[in-house]
Amino acid sequence: MIKAEDLIALVRNYNPRTNEELIRTAFDYGARMHEGQFRYSGEPYFSHPVEVAAILTEQQMDDATIITALLHDTIEDTKSTYGEIKKIFGEEIAELVDGVTKLTNLQLSSTETKQSENFRKLFMAMSKDLRVILVKLADRLHNMRTIRSMRQDKQIQKSRETMDIYAPLAGRMGMQWMRDELEDLAFKVLNPEGRASIIRRFITLQKETGDVIHKITSDIEAELEREKIEAEVFGRAKKPYSIWRKMREKDQGFSRLSDIYGFRVITNSESDCYRTLGAIHQRWRAVPGRFKDYISQPKSNGYRSIHTTVSGRDGKRVEVQIRTREMHEVAEAGVAAHWSYRDGERVQNPFAVDPAKWISSLTERFGTAEDHDEFLEHVKLEMYADQVFCFTPKGDVVKLPRGATPLDYAYAIHTRIGDSCVGAKVDGLRVPLWTRLKNGQSVEIMTAEGQRPQATWIDIVITGRAKSAIRRSLREEDKERYIKLGRELARVAFEHVGKRATDKALGTAAKKLNLDDVDDLLAQLGSAEINGRDVVDALYPNLAPRGGEEIDPARTIVGLSPDQHYDRATCCQPVPGERIVGITYRGKGVVVHAIDCDTLAEMEDQLDRWVDVQWSSGRHPAVHSVTLRLTISNNAGVMGRVCTVIGEQNANISDMIFLDRKPDYYRLLVDVDIRDVAHLHQVLTALEAESDVAAVERHRDPSRRGEVLAAAAEGDQKLGV
């Protein structure tokens, strides 16, 4: 295991002003917390966090990130806490460690719905501080390097997760070297035979052709020397998984695959990059369609380089990447270059992307996804996409993922243009909407008023923005049709029980069913997501008779002695289903109050008189009087309809008092005998649905508190009657 002083030396190499004492403290703290813990390999567990920190020193990360790596498993796997880390190392490091802990607990390779929820959490954590995911990627890299110590089923699970999620994410962040290594390590587990086959063919090829890399490197260096261009040239064979992927994409065998070698030319200036390109193209024939200029059109993660493929020595195709040293640093570190240090100072690399802007560009459209599947689709499209650059007729550049179509281009410009698209011209020629766009093409979109997106467009476009916009438009179009059908279905369902499907009734039903509004209810009714009976039952659940035996009215309260009788308090009118408290009076009478009754506050100093009582379980008789306060229209027949509605809910009106009579409305109190709190809510809902009922609410009379308290003082045994 790397020692503390060795790790500090690695940091000091690029940051002489590092806080050595804090790193040493973190090292000792992590070692102490993980003491007695071991990895599957039998090594001390703390060797893992140390190796993760060492990987991050290769990216020249800041002290906070290095310390986070040393502590990243302490909260999850030891007795350490967030508060303790914050106290010792400060809030910044505590937040980073906590963020990595939360990422570790996400099961990103689980079922689709949960996976999409966890992806949301992943990107939320990234948006707070991108260093969290940098530590997590280094953590995954070391785990993959030592994966052979795990059970076979765990190896396969972790390798698939790495291939599907962490490797593409590393690539999307510009850390291509890490993506290549993660993919190859996962490939070694998932397809060991395929990987071994490619390696064997490489060995055979080297025996047949000799050291091709050295020969081509020398050829390029000679051309650059002839043009007096100062540069370094590096060559390498591509990773086995990269070759395997190309074989599958191109459906070619290894012997027919040409560009299995890659070369990099690192120059001193941007102008030297283009001079180098000219020298290489002068010496070797360029392969058509294999040229990309990411210097003039950088990738969103800051990557800049010129890519070209040429027919080199013996006609073999080789890929050449040309970039400056500063561009190379960003190409190696990706977004992590933002935190890189040199000589104790933050490196102001002009090509390093601001992490806040990068994560914003990555997630800006995710919020438009209206369900889990759409969000997951957006994430995967963003992570896996390479880019092509097309031009508008005015010469503006539009960035699109590889494989994008003119429809994707139209939606990238504006949703309105995409929705009204009827055709496209590419480089002046009319093309089908499913045409795949290429780098450098000029695209013109033709639109027509009244055009609407077609369902088949979903299969044509590949960008999340286009798919989301098309789905939204199709939903809106379908919704109008479903609303019309739903209104007719609602009319029939309500007439079946002798009711009218008014907008007020439907609005009340929508509220009861937790839907947004009447249109939402009708759309779901028309699309068969709910049925007419559901809507009617939400308002009038008692139109159908209910079965079950009723409780004896004399035994509705549990908790009283046989010689105690009770009365319901008139101030709060408690009903079965509500929490209650009994108050005793002389003569052994008990008055039952609702737990939220204001009267109880006046009795807090007499707790010896409180009795723990509760309602009996079962079906209560409709004998519990509750006062309702109504405001109704002053029209012929309205009072009769109100009484009918209450009767239809199997509730009885026991008293009625008019409070106010106006030319256009009445205000009144109605005493209704109900069974329980659920029955009360059904009565209130049915009344609220009536068009002529302007307002209805349960009425509790606080003025009766005086009666209660006076009777308590006098010992009135009939209190509350």
Q: What pairs with residue 693 in β-bridges?
A: 632
Q: Which residue ranges form the domains of the chain, and what is each CATH number?
A: 4-190 (1.10.3210.10), 206-346 (3.30.460.10), 472-539 (no CATH), 551-721 (3.30.70.260)
379 closest CA partner among 390, 396, 366? 366
Question: Which element (helix H / strand E) includes 597?
Answer: none
Catalytic residues: 76-77
Q: What is the pLDDT of residues 584-643, one digit of tens each?
A: 877 658 889 998 888 887 777 787 888 888 887 677 888 899 999 999 988 888 888 888
Answer whether residue 678 shows pLDDT above 60.
Answer: yes
DSSP string across 327-370: HHHHHHHGGGGGG-EETTEE---TTPPPHHHHHHHHHTTGGG--
Pairing of the two strands 652-661 and 624-633: unpaired
Q: Which amino acid makes up residue 681?
A: H
Determine the Cα angle at 255 with ends 254 and 261, to 5°. 70
Comparing 252-256, 365-369, 445-449, 568-572, which segment has the lowest mean pLDDT?
365-369
Question: Residue 111: its pLDDT value, please?
Answer: 47
Question: Residue 99: its pLDDT value, please?
Answer: 85
Supply 379's token pair.
């994430």
Residue 593: CA atoms inside 13 Å, Cβ hemisphere, count? Answer: 23
Question: Residue 545: its pLDDT value, please?
Answer: 45
How confident is residue 711, by pLDDT bands cut at 50, 70 and 90?
low
Question: Residue 704: its pLDDT value, please?
Answer: 58
Question: Residue 92: its pLDDT value, please?
Answer: 92
Determine the Cα angle at 165 with ends 57 and 400, to 5°. 100
Q: What is the pLDDT of residues 11-61, one digit of tens each?
A: 988 888 889 999 999 999 999 999 999 888 888 999 999 999 999 998 888
Q: Using CA atoms, how far apart are residues 674 and 703, in angstroms rounded to an integer?
A: 23
Supply 234's token pair.
């590096």
Q: Which residues make Cβ contacts (< 8 Å) with residue 253, sequence separation at least 6?
A: 247
Average pLDDT across the chain, whole number: 82
Question: Residue 25: its pLDDT value, please?
Answer: 95
Q: Which amino acid makes up residue 241?
A: Y
> Mean pLDDT, to the nearest integer, of 520-531?
80
